[in-house]
Amino acid sequence: MKFSINREVILKSLSGLQGVVERKNTLPILSNVLISVLNKKLTIKATDLEILFTDEISDVSVDQDGSTTTSASILYDVIRKSPADSKIIFEMKTNNKLGINCENSKYQLLCLSPENFPNFAEDVNDNNLELKSTELLKLLNKTKISMSNDDSRHYLNGVFFHEIEKNGKVFLASASTDGHRLSFSSIEIATKKSFTPFILPKKTVFQLIQLIDDKNEIVKIFFSDNKIKFKIKNTTLTSKVIDGKFPDYRQVVPKNNNNTLIASMTKFNDAIERVISVSLDKKEGIRLKVEKDKIELSVNSANTGEGNEIIDVNYKNDPLEISFNSRYLLEIASQIQDTNIKMNFLDSSSPALIEDAKDKSSFFVLMPMKI
């Protein structure tokens, strides 16, 4: 195997797979990247047995076909630290040594046989859905904040994708919950695809966000019973889906929260940040005392002190006091696109419904906490 390639081209590919590769692994081959050259194309693959990253590169000069595997993290560091816009030459020196030359630098990396690289079957069907990357990114960003970390309820450790129909229109919807909060978002799609609802694992969610962030591309999504494949130009991400039943989230969405508060997003967010600065534990509860056209935010920590701040809001209903996990509240606020945040309450012990006037296809539910 021998080929040469521009540093920036291969660096982009190696950067995209770093989130897939596990650095500490009981199987050394899973820490490696598979490099294959065939028919004037370079193919780069990485897997952790749950996700498969594949990138095909045509902008390469091939002298000899072949394949090998080498450490993904070391190769990435070597290329990343090479001079910008330089030409990188790859050449197999022996069966277990890969030579890398760049200007005045020479490296030889140890390799493992490509025959030992796991065969991750991509048995997905031809039924596909096409989305703009900005649309998929919206669904992922809105719901990533509520994914659980509870291994005992593994079916909550991801984002639930499903189709819904409303007013004669079809929507692709995403939802996530950790039992304390719920995030929901949807986008309209042209035709019904009738795919089996699936739960996308947390690691795949973040890897996919990295792949499509700051891009304006078409994403093709291919489905099967236990796998999902995302194709963005010459890059594909194939992932197993979580085996489990996602709960009926609609049962916890408040329907009678008629006490509505509207506050400036900037003022509300900044006030929370200032008030919780007295606490070392950002998960500590923040109390909201809501009265006519004003809200008092307060934190009282037994170990570090207390903080209070009052801001003006639009609120015309009966006074109430309610407390939330301050970090959860800030994470939800970070996904509000409008200049205002809209919070709908029932009482001090019931979940709040948080809406975004600029994105009426998304909402959040936040459970109160006792402090």
Same domain, 9 and 111: yes
Q: Tell me if 275 sits within 8 A of 323, measured CB to CB.
A: no
**Residue 52 domain flag:** yes
Same domain, 142 and 187: yes
Tell the residue number behind the tokens 């009926």, with chain if given.
Answer: 248
d(CA 190, CA 121): 30
**Residue 123 domain flag:** no
Show which of 64, 88, 116 is a domain's final residue: 116
Same domain, 241 and 260: no
Q: Quick one: average pLDDT of 303-312?
A: 92
Edge-to-edge order in the sheet of strand 314-315: 198-201, 158-166, 169-177, 181-189, 362-366, 352-355, 340-345, 259-264, 314-315
* pLDDT recorded at residue 141: 96
Show which of 229, 251, 273 is a domain's final residue: 251
Same domain, 200 and 267: no
pLDDT beyond 80 at 345: yes
d(CA 200, CA 233): 21
Q: What is the pTM of this model?
A: 0.92
- Kindly report the backbone phi and psi dihedral angles of residue 80, in degrees, each rounded to the nearest multiple of 5, phi listed first: -60, -35
pLDDT class of 284 with cuts at 50, 70, 90 = confident
pLDDT beyond 80 at 187: yes
- Indicate the angle between helix axes 326-333 and 265-275, nearest 10 degrees: 150
Tokens of 240: 């197993």
Same domain, 138 and 42: no
**Residue 232 domain flag:** yes
Tokens of 213: 């962030």
Same domain, 224 and 269: no
- Kindly report the backbone phi and psi dihedral angles of residue 353, in degrees, each rounded to the nearest multiple of 5, phi listed first: -105, 120
**Residue 122 domain flag:** no
SS3 51: strand
* pLDDT recorded at residue 359: 95
* pLDDT recorded at residue 122: 63
Q: Tell me if 333 sits within 8 A of 312, measured CB to CB.
A: no
Same domain, 212 and 307: no
**Residue 235 domain flag:** yes
pLDDT, tens digit, 9 for 90 and up, residues 16-71: 999 999 877 778 999 999 999 999 999 999 999 999 999 999 999 999 999 999 99
Q: How many CB atoms lie within 10 A of CB 75?
A: 22
Cα distances from 23 to residues 63, 78, 207, 237, in angstroms, run 31, 16, 16, 19
Which amino acid is residue 106, in one-letter code? K
Stated as kind and residue range, the H or E segment containing 141 is helix 133-144
Tokens of 291: 């009265």
**Residue 68 domain flag:** yes
* pLDDT recorded at residue 249: 95
Q: Quick one: average pLDDT of 274-283?
A: 82
Q: Is the dihedral of CA 14, 18, 20, 21 positive or negative?
A: positive
How big is the CA angle at 138 (ends 243 and 237), to the nearest 5 degrees?
50
**Residue 91 domain flag:** yes
Average per-residue pLDDT for the chain: 93
Kindly tell me the burial class for residue 264, based on how many C-beta atoms sit within 10 Å of its own C-beta (0-12, 13-18, 19 or more): middle
Give the CATH number of the domain where residue 200 resides.
3.10.150.10
Show which of 215, 235, 251 is a domain's final residue: 251
* pLDDT recorded at residue 330: 94
**Residue 121 domain flag:** no
* pLDDT recorded at residue 224: 83
pLDDT beyond 90 at 275: yes
Same domain, 133 and 245: yes
Q: Quick one: average pLDDT of 144-169?
A: 94
Same domain, 8 and 91: yes
Same domain, 189 and 262: no
Percent of the chain with pLDDT over 70: 98
SS3 115: helix
Helix (H) and strand (E) counts in the chain: 6, 26
Cα distances from 221 to residues 175, 207, 208, 215, 292, in angstroms, run 18, 15, 12, 16, 48
* pLDDT recorded at residue 370: 87
pLDDT beyond 80 at 280: no
* pLDDT recorded at residue 301: 83
* pLDDT recorded at residue 193: 80
Tell me the HSE value of 279 on the side-chain side, using a 13 A CA sphere.
22
Same domain, 240 and 141: yes
pLDDT beyond 80 at 371: no
* pLDDT recorded at residue 283: 67
* pLDDT recorded at residue 175: 98
Kindly tell me the burial class for residue 112, based on how many C-beta atoms sit within 10 Å of its own C-beta (0-12, 13-18, 19 or more): middle
Percent of the chain with pLDDT over 90: 84
- Indicate the angle between helix axes 202-212 and 133-144, nearest 10 degrees: 140
pLDDT, tens digit, 9 for 90 and up, residues 72-128: 999 999 999 999 999 999 999 998 999 999 999 999 999 999 999 998 766 676 668
pLDDT beyond 70 at 2: yes
Same domain, 260 and 243: no
* pLDDT recorded at residue 121: 67
Tell me the HSE value of 25 on the side-chain side, using a 13 A CA sphere.
16
Number of domains in the chain: 3
Cα distances from 260 to residues 107, 250, 268, 292, 351, in angstroms, run 64, 20, 15, 11, 13
Domain span at 69: 2-116
